Amino acid sequence: MIWSTWRQHRPEALACLAGLAAAAAAILYADASVGLLRTNTDLVQDIRLALMAAPLLVGVFVGAPLVARDLEQGTHRLVWTQGTTRSRWLRVKLLLVFSVVAAAAALLAGLLTAALFSTPEHVDRWYWFDFLAPAFVAYVVFALWLGIALGAVIGRTYPAMAATLVLFVVARAVVEGILRPRYLPPLSIRIVDFGTIDIPRGMSADWPVGYAYYDAHGHPMSLDDILALMNRDRVSIPTPNLAAHGLSGWAYFQPDARFWLFQGIETAIFLGLAALLAGLAYHWLARRVT
């Protein structure tokens, strides 16, 4: 069955291999030439863009058609009625594809991680959060199983690809934008002057996740409110010092020490979702009515 899985998905496999080779080559080249930490160069930005897109491409072009194409074209009526049972066919095929894809992702992310940390220069880890080994592999695995599950349930290739695209982007945006800053309660430092956040020396590697301003009674104030207030009082209190206006402000950070913990949490979230989706896909297909 290894041959039949390879033969059936040969185009995708070759495309992934080509993509993997190109990305690895780009990373090695960038590392050797400008250095990956030159994040203001086009080359590094392009590499980041490609790696950002990679899990999505895997989900849409490998995961979604994996089962959907057979269902859509009716060839499941051919392959599920040979001498191999449906569950064996699915088990072998899905596990095989999953293993290969996960290994390729681990290889690529491992390469990048090693290249990033190979120099003694300081790395802004939070800036590379999405691309380091555990998180990147989790995104790819999640995207793959999302595609497979949607392909199984929807049963048609193009709609499954579209749904995978949308749901993957939403999932990543929600987790990264809303959940990640809150995995653990952030630390805070006081903002002294409005408009200036003095970052103490030891906190330069920490990840800023937000700020908040309050009035004397503890009610939240928006930036516009504060500007209006300071404008109103600019003659009497001509200083941006918040305390002078009876206001207070706080800046929130996730300390650098928590970095790997956060990687672990995010990885666990996406791997957990992937496991749920795998279960859903398998269960759905095992009981599917033709």
Partner 1 sequence: MTVCLEAAGLGMRYRSTWALRGCDLRIPAGRITALVGPNGAGKTTLLHLAVGLLRPTEGSVRVLGWIPAAEPDLVLARLGFVAQDTPLYRRYSVAETLRLGRALNRRWDEAAATDRLRRLRIPLDRRVGRLSGGQRAQVALALALAKRPELLLLDEPLASLDPLARRQFLQELMDAVAGDGLAVVLSSHLVAELERVCDHLVLLDGGRVRLAGDIEGVVAEHRLLVGPREAARPAGVHVVAAEQAQRQTTLWVRGEPPDLAAGWGVSPLSLEDVVLAYLAGPAPGEAAPEAAVEVSA
| Selected range binding partner 1 among 3-11, 117-125, 132-140, 147-155, rule: CB under 8 A | 3-11
Ramachandran region, residue 186 (left: φ > 0; alpha: ψ -120 to 50; beta: rest): beta
Minimum distance from residue 67 beta carbon to partner 1 (Å)? 15
The answer to the question of residue 85 lying near partner 1 (CB under 8 A) is yes
Q: Which of 15, 24, 26, 79 binds partner 1 (CB under 8 A)?
A: 79
For position 6 contacting partner 1 by CB under 8 A, the verdict is no
Tokens matching residue 82: 């040979």
For partner 1, the closer CB: 48 or 86: 86
Residues touching partner 1: how many (CB under 8 A)?
Answer: 23
What is the smallest separation between the CB atom of 87 and partner 1, expressed in angstroms? 8
Site for partner 1 in 151-210 (CB under 8 A): none
- What minimum distance in Å lies between the beta carbon of 287 and partner 1? 8
For residue 141 the two structure tokens come to 């695995």
CA-wise closest residue to 168 among 189, 146, 135, 183: 146
Residue 84 in the binding site for partner 1 (CB under 8 A): yes
How does DSSP classify residue 185?
Answer: P
The Cα diameter of the chain in Å comes to 89
d(CA 89, CA 96): 11
Between residues 126 and 282, which has the closer beta carbon with respect to partner 1?
A: 282
Q: What element of type H or E holds 211? A: strand 207-214
Cα-based distances in Å from 51 to 45, 66, 102, 112, 221: 10, 22, 14, 10, 39
Which residue do the tokens 């209006």 mark? 228
Residue from 91, 64, 272 nearest 148 by CA: 64
Beta bridge partners of 212: 250
Kindly state whether residue 222 participates in binding partner 1, applying the rule CB under 8 A: no
Q: Which residue number, 4 or 113, has a Cβ lying nearer to partner 1?
A: 4
Determine if 96 is a binding residue for partner 1 (CB under 8 A).
Answer: no
For the chain, how far is it from start to end, CA to CA, in angstroms?
23
Among the listed ranges 76-84, 96-104, 134-142, 197-205, the one in contact with partner 1 (CB under 8 A) is 76-84
CB of 7 to partner 1, least distance (A): 6
Closest contact distance (angstroms) between CB of 71 and partner 1 is 11
Comparing CB distances to partner 1, the nearer of 125 and 288 is 288
Burial (CB count <10 Å: 0-12, 13-18, 19+), residue 202:
exposed
Pairwise CA distance, residues 87 & 18, whole Å: 31
Query: Residue 195 is encoded by which pair of tokens?
Result: 């408009």
Q: 3-class SS at 83?
A: coil
Q: Does residue number 3 form part of the binding site for partner 1 (CB under 8 A)?
A: yes
Name the minimum Å distance from CB 225 to partner 1. Answer: 57
Nearer to partner 1, 56 or 71 (CB): 71
User: Does 14 help bind partner 1 (rule: CB under 8 A)?
Assistant: no
Smallest distance from the beta carbon of 12 to partner 1, in angstroms? 13
Kindly list the residues in this chain that would bind partner 1 in the complex (CB under 8 A).
1, 3-4, 7-8, 73-86, 89, 287, 289-290
